[in-house]
Every structure is written in C-alpha cells, then in structure tokens.
Structure 1
Amino acid sequence: MLSPTQDLSSPDDWPSPGSGDAGAPETAYPPAAGPATEPPAPSGYVAAEPPAPSSYPSAEALPLRKAAPGRSFAHGLRRMIRSESLPTAPMRVVDRLVDSPYANPRRNKETSEARRTLNFAVRLAETMFHYGADAMDVESAIVAICATYGVEDVDVDITNQSITINYVSNSGIYLDAEQQSGSEAEIFSHTVVRVVRSWSDNYSGLTTTHRLVKTITDGELSRAEAERRLTRITSEPKPFPRWMTTWANILAAGSFTVGIGGEWFGAVLACLTFAVVTPVSAKFAKWRVPSFFIMAAGSATVTAVAMTAYTLGLPISPAHVIGSGLIMLLPTFRLVSTIQDAINGFPVTAAGRMVSTGLSFVGLIAGLAIAISLTTTFFAFPEVDMLEVVFASADWYLHVVFMLLATALVAVSVQVSPRHILPGVLSAAVGMVVYYLATALGVGPRMISLAGAVGVGCASAWLAQRYTIPQVVLAVPGLMFLLPGLSIFRGMYMFTVDSNPIEGLVPLINASAVILSLAASVVLGNYLMRPFMKQRQPRRLRAPRRR
C-alpha cells in the first residue's frame, strides 16, 4: 500500500519484495520490460518528473508523488492561457479580404482538391499581373479563390515578378480527387511558384478576370467551369484592333496639346509626330528592346520634330508640343500600381517596380536632353526663351473638352472595355470639378493638382465598385490631365541649355514629386470612399464572415 507521505521518485525508495500489508502478494520490482500500459495515477497524485533515461528502463511506469498545493490550479491556468495553435502555423490570411472586392467568399460545396485549386489560383494570379493588376488585388484574389474552394490559411508571397503560394493541409483535406485510405487523410504540403515576365496594356482582360474572381467568391461557379472561363479570357482578342489604338494615341497627343494651351497647328504637329512614334515604339516592344531605350527614342523624336518646326518658323510653341508628348509617354500606368503596392504593404514589389518605372522616366529625360543638345549645339537651332513661354492652360472650356476627349482616347489605347470608357471620363470630370473649385478658393498650384487627383480617386473607386471593375481601369485614364509635362520640359531644357543647370533641377524635382503625389492621392481617394462603398454592398456581403 502506498503512503501519501512516501516519496517514490527514486528506485531506491521502492519497497522490498514481501514488504507491505500482510497477505499482499509478492511483486517483483522493478517491473519486467515489455509492452505495458501506464496505470492511472491514484487520486491526489501526479506523475513525477522522469529521471535520466539511463536510471530506469523505458518501459517502466513513472512513479507517483503527491501534488503540491495549488499546483493543479497553476497547471490548468497555464493551459488556459497557452495558445492551442503552434506559433509557426499559417496565419488566417483570409482576414485580409476585409474591405476588398472579394470579402466574405462563399465556400463551394464540392470536395476540396488542394493541388488543382492552388494551380488554378496561381494561373489566375499570373493573368492578373500580366494585365496590370497591383499586388494587393492579386493577393486578395488568391486568398478568396482558395477559401472558396476549401483551401484556407494559405501563405501567399508576391515579390516583384514572382508569385509563391504555400499550403499545409489539415486532416480531411485531400491532395487529389481520390480520397486517402484510412480514418483521416495524410497531412501534406504543396507549393506553387510562377514568375511573370511580360505585361500587356489590356484593361479589358483585367476587368474580365476581376469579374471572374467575383463570380467565384459568390459561390456561383465550380472550379472546372472557372478554369474553362480563364482559358477563354486569355485567348480572346482585345476589344480594339491595333490600328484603332494607334489612331487613339495620335489624336490623344493633339488633344493634350490644345488642352495645355498649345496652338492648333501645334496639335496637328503633335498628331503627325505620334503617327511615327507609336508604331516605332510598338515595333521596338515586339523586338523586346528595353523600356529605357524605347522611352528615350520616343522623347528624342518628339523633341527633335518640335525644335525643327520651331526653327523653320512654323507657328507653334515647342514647349507645348513636347509637353503633350511627355504626357503621352510617361509610364503612368505602372507608376500608379507602384504607389499602390508601396502603400498597401508590398515594399519589395514596390521597390522593384519603382526601379523599372524610374528607369523609364530617366529614359524620357535622357532622350529629351540628347535631342536638345544636338539641335542647339551641333545644328545651331535657336534656343527657346523659357521666360517668354506662357505655361498656362487654355480657356477653361477648351481645357475641359479636350482633356475629357484625351481621357477617352487614352482609355481606348489601353484597351478599356467600350462600356467602361464613359465611367473613366466621368472620373476625370469629377477631378476637374475639384480642380477648378480648389483654384477658385486660391489653393496653391501643387495642392490644386493633389485635390484634383483625390477627386479622381474618389470617383473612380465609387464607379469601380458600381460596375464591378478594378479602380485602376478608371483612375489611370482619368489622371492624365494632371500630369506635369510642361514642368518636365522646362526643367530639362534649363538643365541642358542654360548656364546654371542647378536652376533646372528644381522644376524636375517638383515634377517628380507631383507625379508621385498624384498617384498617392488616387490611392487616398479609394480609402476615403470605403465607408460609402461598404454601405452600398448587398446584405449578403455585409453578413458576419465565417470564423
């Protein structure tokens, strides 16, 4: 019989054979090794700490000792506050879908097949990146699709051009369609990686892909049908043929020239210039020439043509012709996505995109500088007096009409779906209203542009939710009228030609800061409109999410 005061934590304290109560059968100590089960501890006893492995056979039951007062309560309290999940378990990334277009995904009723679901998700993510989506939208789409088809708690890593999805299963989730034998499925890990190496100006394809994800998260589409629809999206032609996008670029250059205060003859010259620049740039892109050289060639061509016409005495303002050309050539689309990635928590992706976008911007400046140096130094073209050039917009009605026309033409050039061109023009119109209101209130010139960009961001975010399309489809064309093409030309010209190049750095730095601020203001407009967009969501989307 064990005594509550007897410590049996050491083999030396075990009773010898034959000791104990009278009539008790003799028992050999220690017990023989073998497959024995550990008996439950009597009431009031807890298992002692195991001694070193060499002090007793591994098959022996642990000796017992009296529980210290309060030990059971402390042990239970520690178990209560200790996390049940491992610290290295994947976080519930499905929580990141809050405030995204794919919030509250509905679980599809079909059996989860993790491998096919992950392969489909990475394929769709690659398509979205290829069409110009930002990293936040791509990550939200991946998480929403996986959650809809029963694969939750995936780890998604988007780094510049690389997309990585990792999933570690729970029991009951199957690797393939064939179920595992046994009482529960085998736990497995599956990782898929895709590197996006090409981009396309196809906002119609981005819109269709966005709507496909929305249909999936609403629980209205099986995975097999979703795969077939994605195949159709990637194989269908663009809404506008190449000749139409070429004409859209040509006419947009002329519209921007009039909108920023240029002459009618200057608008015609800008159209003729882009009749050469657009097909040549397309041919260079087809030959996979780096973007730096494409931008440099385009800006050099525009500058050389404008300076030549000015030297020949044609009634044009070279600053306005070159300024409109720079507006057309600026990498606005990639810049907006870059700022969105930086603000939304993708710093590595934003840094990579910023390098490529910055090189394109440097290419523009390099081509402009080369053309100015050649025309003024080697060919003795007359210099442009920056003090005599009037950097003022046209009359307000001309500015509004031609800038809105240019917005529609830019939307055509980036393959926006025809039924979404008008919402993009409306976004630009709202930005212009805010722009002129800020002007009437006497706000500074930089704040006027930022206010207009916030207006574009708010309008594009609200209209994008209403038409179920990504915001960037409406925001990028609507932002074009605010780009500082004239400031870039003035700064580069002063830096290249004037005797004091430091004075030219100030306009260049200001123009760069304005461009970055415009992109950030568009993102700010999206965040400002989120409370109003939440109120417009259907009731089923505002229901509490699954836990």
Structure 2
Amino acid sequence: MAETTNEIYRTMDLALRIGELLLSSGAGASDVKAQMENVAYACGLRGSTSDVTFTELAMSHQARSDEPALIQLRQVRYRQVDFGDLTQVDHLVRDLLAGRVTREEAATRLKRITSTGHSRPKWSVTLGLGVMGAGIGMVLAGDWVVIGIAFVGSVGVDVIQRYMSRRRWPVFYQQVAGGLFATLLAAGIAKAGLDVAPSRVITASIVLLLAGVSFLGAVQDALTGFPLTSGARILEAVIATAGAIAGVSGGLTLARVLHIGLGTLDPGSVRFADLPMLAIGGALTAAAYAFSSYVPYRALLPIAVIGALAMAVYDLAANNRVGTNWASGVAAVVIGVVSWAVSGRARVPALVVVTAAIVPLLPGLSIYRGLALFGAGESSGLLALANAAAILIALSSGVLLGQYIAQPLKREARRLESRLSGPRLVGPLSARAPHLRRRKRAPE
C-alpha cells in the first residue's frame, strides 16, 4: 500500500498521464478509466476512483473516512494521433501490471515516450496519406489516371492542413480548406477536359477528412455509460465532418459560378470495383492509413489483410441485397472479431487495428453524393447525407459488437464485472487478473 501522501500523488500522477495519452489518441472513456485504475492498483494504491470527461481527467483517493480525500486533475491537450506512442504505452501498462517495472521506471519510460518525436518523417506520412487516397480511388473502380489524381489530392489536403495547423487555425477551418481544395482540384480536371469522374477524385480526397476515430470513440462511450464524453466527442466529430462538407459544398458552388460542370450523382448509379480490385484497394488504404498514423511496421501487413477481408465481406453482403448500411455493419463486425486475435499477435492495441481497417468503409461517396444532389436542387441529397451518418454509426457499433463477441469471458473477468464497462480496445482487462492466474497455479 502507498503509505505517504507524496507516494499517493506520484501514483495518481502516473495514472493521469497515462490516461491523458490514451484519451488524446482516441481511446474510449471506459478504456481510459480502467487503465488508470489498473495503474493505481499495480502501484499499490487501493480504493482509488477516477473520472473521465472530454477534456479533463480526475483521480481521488481517501485513505480513511475521517480524512479529506486527495484529488488530482489533469487537462487533456489533444495532439496528432500517434499509434506508435499508444502501442508503447499499452506495453508499459502491461509491464507495470506484470511487475516487470516499478512505478519510477514506468514514469521515466512514459516521459521518454511523450517527449520523443514521431518515428517517421513528415514527408513519409504525407506520401502515405497519398497512397491511402490512391487506394480509395481503386475501391471506386478508378483507372490509373483517377488513382494518380487521388494521390495528388490527398497529398495536397495533408499539406494544406499541416500548414494551417502550424499557424494554429481551428480544425473546422482546416477541414473546410481540405474539402475546398479537393473539389477545386476536381473542377480543374473537369475544365481541362480529362476523361475522369470528378466524384471519384473528391471522394478519395475527403475520406482523409472524415472523423472515423472520433465517431468510433464516441459510440463506444455512448454504449459503455459515458454520455457526457460521448456527446462531446460526437459534437467534435460532427463539427469536423461539417467543415469537410462545407468545403466541398463551397467548391461545388464556386465551380457552378465558373460554369464548370462536375455533374451530379444518381444514388443508384455508383459502381464499386470488382472484388479483386476492391480487396486490393481496401488493403492498400488500410495499410497506408496505419503507416501515416505511426503504427509499428509489424502490424501493417495484418492490417492490410483485415482491410481486404472487410471489403470482401462488404461486397458479398451488398451484392446479396443486404443494403449499404447493413453491409457496412457486417463488415465492421468482422473487423472487430478478427482484430481481437490479430492485435495480440501483432502486439498492438485492438484500437489501432480496427481504426485503420474501417477507413476504406468510411462513407465519403455518400457525403459527396448528398452534396451534389443538393447543389442540383434535389431533396434526395438529405437522404444521402442521412445515409452517410447511418453508415458511420453502423461501422462504429459494428466494430464494438465484434469486440464483444471476440473477447473471451474469463472467470476472473466475471468476478470483476462491476469494474468493467465494456470490451477493452486498449490495455488489459484488469490489474488483478494476473494475480488470480498465479494464485491458481500455485502448489497446494
């Protein structure tokens, strides 16, 4: 047991710093709360409580009923998502729970993780995002010209957003600029007379702008009993997506003023690639996004395989008249189930795998379709945007359902059911589980 006030504060500070990095990297509030309490338990602090909101973490401990509680707060400062750092922190928590490192060693490792820069240069990340756009172009049955232009569009969006981020522009305006650039690029191609479908170029470019990570965390929080954090995350995701929509809408309006015809989309006329190209495009998109998010190299191939599998499942379901929403949900469930086993073998958190694997399924096409129909004065554009929102919900809830199905219900997890509020996408189930297993193996 931690015996002094100073030791208690040291333990809570370590737990809060770990929770801050997990929350800023997109982990759900239930995962963050569980790992904060696991860290405290592993460091000898019993009876601590923690609370998670969108921008603040709190932890308290009351040694005796006649003594005041010790409370620490920490503000969450969001930064660029780095799944490499997230993976290292996940390993750090597991080492701490297993007793392989002390609290002081864990604090030193954490400081080294947070103070070290990204593991890859920025130019390689930008190229990776370009490859992701090219993969989306393949998914949409684009030819090599479309794939090349989609690569350029995604690179351009990332360069613009990095420039604006360095000058501390709010995310909303970064999203507007990205959507505007993608649409104007398509307008320029149409004006040049190239035989390229502008919708594919715009769709491939704006997938980068869709808030897949935020929606995944928001739905997980809503399903696991954190409505306040869920509402804040949903609002953040909606504002970010609204920025992308505003940018695309502005680009379509400007193109119309300049008498550049980008065409409209009939909801039933969209054609995806055939299965082999669809699977290759899904694999390339998922692996490229993972690379750009600093996922360790050892996990890129498994993520690519899961991305290809998800697109194959989606194609099979969609061709059997299941519907786009249900096809997306079924593919997301498969991602959730498979990622549970793959993440353990690749030694990365499940959150890393599922986030990258769902990127090819994000509804960029539905968003563009809705905006194009709106621009043509068609009321069905609202239905297309509502369909995009339904796809995002299906993807997020499907991934979590897959995790619920995949995670084994062990005896020690049942005993600690009150401490668990859902499947863990980051970190182990509980700090006490290893102790129970060792006790079971001990000789009589």
TM-based fold match above 0.5: yes
Q: 1:504 aligns with which of 372, 381, 384?
A: 381
Instruction: Please list, as runs of the form range in 1=range in 2, the aligned pairs for 1:115-264 lying within 5 A after superposition.
Output: 115-170=9-64, 187-264=67-144
SS in 1 for 2:92: helix
**Residues 1:542 and 1:524: Cα distance change in structure 2 (over 3 Å):** farther
In structure 1, how many angstroms separate the alpha carbons of the residues matched to 2:74 and 2:358? 32
Q: Give the aligned partner of residue 421 of structure 2.
A: none
**Corresponding letter in the other structure for 1:121:** A
Contact 2:278/2:311 (8 A) holds in 1: no
Contact 1:273/1:302 (8 A) holds in 2: yes
Contact 1:263/1:317 (8 A) holds in 2: no
**Corresponding letter in the other structure for 2:260:** F
Q: Give the aligned partner of residue 413 of structure 1.
A: 292
**Corresponding letter in the other structure for 1:298:** G
**Corresponding letter in the other structure for 1:359:** I
Q: 1:469 aligns with which of 335, 348, 353?
A: 348
1:160-215 deviations in whole A, cap 9, x for unaligned?
110010110149xxxxxxxxxxxxxx945211000112222200000100111111
**Residues 1:368 and 1:139: Cα distance change in structure 2 (over 3 Å):** same
State the shift of 1:531 in Å: 2.2
In structure 1, how many angstroms separate the alpha carbons of the residues matched to 2:284 and 2:412? 33
Gaps of 5+ in 2: 414-427
**Corresponding letter in the other structure for 1:205:** D
**Residues 1:235 and 1:250: Cα distance change in structure 2 (over 3 Å):** same
* Residue 232 of structure 2 corresponds to residue 352 of structure 1: yes
**Residues 1:382 and 1:452: Cα distance change in structure 2 (over 3 Å):** same
**Corresponding letter in the other structure for 2:12:** L
Contact 2:264/2:369 (8 A) holds in 1: no
Count residues in correspondence: 423
Using CA pairs below 8 Å that are at least 6 residues apart, which structure has the higher relative contact order?
2
SS in 1 for 2:50: strand
* Residue 189 of structure 2 corresponds to residue 306 of structure 1: no
- State the 4+ residue runs in structure 1 displaced beyond 6 angstroms: 107-112, 532-539
Instruction: Please list, as runs of the form range in 1=range in 2, the aligned pairs for 1:398-437 lying within 5 A after superposition.
Output: 398-437=277-316
Contact 1:112/1:150 (8 A) holds in 2: no
Query: Over aligned residues, Cα RMSD in angstroms?
Result: 2.8
**Residues 1:276 and 1:214: Cα distance change in structure 2 (over 3 Å):** same
Segment of structure 1 superposing worse, 149-158 or 200-209: 149-158
In structure 2, how many angstroms separate the alpha carbons of the residues matched to 1:533 and 1:402? 38
Contact 1:435/1:451 (8 A) holds in 2: yes
SS in 2 for 1:382: coil
**Residues 1:111 and 1:166: Cα distance change in structure 2 (over 3 Å):** closer
SS in 1 for 2:184: helix
In structure 1, how many angstroms separate the alpha carbons of the residues matched to 2:166 and 2:351? 25
Contact 1:304/1:375 (8 A) holds in 2: yes
Contact 1:462/1:533 (8 A) holds in 2: no
In structure 1, how many angstroms separate the alpha carbons of the residues matched to 2:407 and 2:83? 23
Identity of aligned residues (%): 27
In structure 1, how many angstroms separate the alpha carbons of the residues matched to 2:209 and 2:119? 22
SS in 2 for 1:228: helix
Flag the structure with higher helix content.
2
Instruction: Please list, as runs of the form range in 1=range in 2, the aligned pairs for 1:348-497 lying within 5 A after superposition.
Output: 348-376=228-256, 378-387=257-266, 390-439=269-318, 441-496=320-375
In structure 2, how many angstroms separate the alpha carbons of the residues matched to 1:421 and 1:317? 31
Q: Give the aligned partner of residue 297 of structure 1.
A: 177
SS in 2 for 1:522: helix
Structure with the greater alpha carbon radius of gyration: 1
State the shift of 1:261 in Å: 1.4
**Residues 1:227 and 1:128: Cα distance change in structure 2 (over 3 Å):** same
Contact 2:153/2:185 (8 A) holds in 1: yes
Contact 2:283/2:303 (8 A) holds in 1: no
1:76-131 deviations in whole A, cap 9, x for unaligned?
xxxxxxxxxxxxxxxxxxxxxxxxxxxxxxx8999992121112211222222233
**Residues 1:545 and 1:436: Cα distance change in structure 2 (over 3 Å):** farther
Segment of structure 1 superposing worse, 408-417 or 428-437: 428-437
In structure 2, how many angstroms separate the alpha carbons of the residues matched to 1:388 and 1:513? 15
In structure 1, how many angstroms separate the alpha carbons of the residues matched to 2:251 and 2:166? 25
Gaps of 5+ in 1: 1-106, 172-185
**Corresponding letter in the other structure for 1:462:** A
Q: 1:325 aligns with which of 195, 205, 224?
A: 205
Q: TM-score, with normalisation over the residues of structure 1?
A: 0.72
Contact 1:258/1:402 (8 A) holds in 2: yes
State the shift of 1:140 in Å: 0.9
**Residues 1:108 and 1:526: Cα distance change in structure 2 (over 3 Å):** farther
Contact 1:323/1:489 (8 A) holds in 2: yes
In structure 2, how many angstroms separate the alpha carbons of the residues matched to 1:533 and 1:320? 47
